[in-house]
Structure 1
Amino acid sequence: MSEERQRSLSTSGEALYLVLGLDKTCSPDDIKKSYRKLALKYHPDKNPENPDATDKFKELNNAHSVLSDTSKRNIYDSYGSLGLYVAQQFGEENVNAYFMLSSWWAKAVTSAAASAAASTVVVGGANPSARWARNQTPTCPLRTWRSRSEQTRRQMPTTFP
């Protein structure tokens, strides 16, 4: 995004339709007709003295490129310009997964899992033998077994407090 003209990413998905003067229920033929009409009106070669015409023409091209592609249009209708940004960064096939994982319930599940993992790390406290035993057997399925060479490097404490 350019520094001189930053816009906040919307989730409503209506601005591109307004640029072309249409509503969300329009057909692909309506998009094409409106684009051609406005492109002829604001083309930079027809308006060399008007610097705003080039900006308007760029907006028209952007709106037409998004709304004429069915997958981009579906993403824009569902998630707005934020959805298009996510599609550009992560791919169009990953947009639904991104918004599902950023929903409130997914955040609640991951924070609960993180707090459960944090509580298992604290088990044993400052007791070195408890830490050694904890490192030998994983307490949750996400932890991996330590390599055999790493296990042999560790020394089991000889005295227990």
Structure 2
Amino acid sequence: MRALIQRISEASVKVDGEIVGQSGPGLLVLVCAMRGDETAHADKLAAKISKLRIFKDDAEKMNLSVRDVGGSALVISQFTLAGDTKGNRPGFSTAAAPDQGKALYEHFTQALIAQGVPCENGIFGADMKVSLTNDGPVTIWLDTDA
């Protein structure tokens, strides 16, 4: 699985003009299931994100996790993270099939909640409008195959 994590002051996602999920302060997690991914990949990614020390401590050093600061996460499905950009038009053949992608996306969110991170979601496959205030900015790329 792949994820792009952004430390946020706040974030929200709208579908058809209605807010369907929001978070803050904490993390915006854009996540993509890849072909061959299994629930173990989602569990590994959730554990890594919940412990990732990207929040400042009293000495202004990034030593705290989202759990340490009592933050939450907005988790958005983002199949374009699988984009192959060898040409001018990205290809997405390495992304998991939609049914598997949705199941892994939902499993990932539940795994992150089980790690102690309150989560809200977008709607899988929907045309979403995501708004955020990036804090730092801090943006981290994670890939379970890397």
* TM-score bucket (shorter structure): under 0.3
TM-score when scaled to structure 1?
0.24
Decide which structure has the larger Cα Rg and report it.
1
TM-score when scaled to structure 2?
0.26
Which is helix-richer, 1 or 2? 1
Which of 1 and 2 has higher RCO (CA within 8 Å, sep 6+)? Answer: 2
Which is strand-richer, 1 or 2? 2
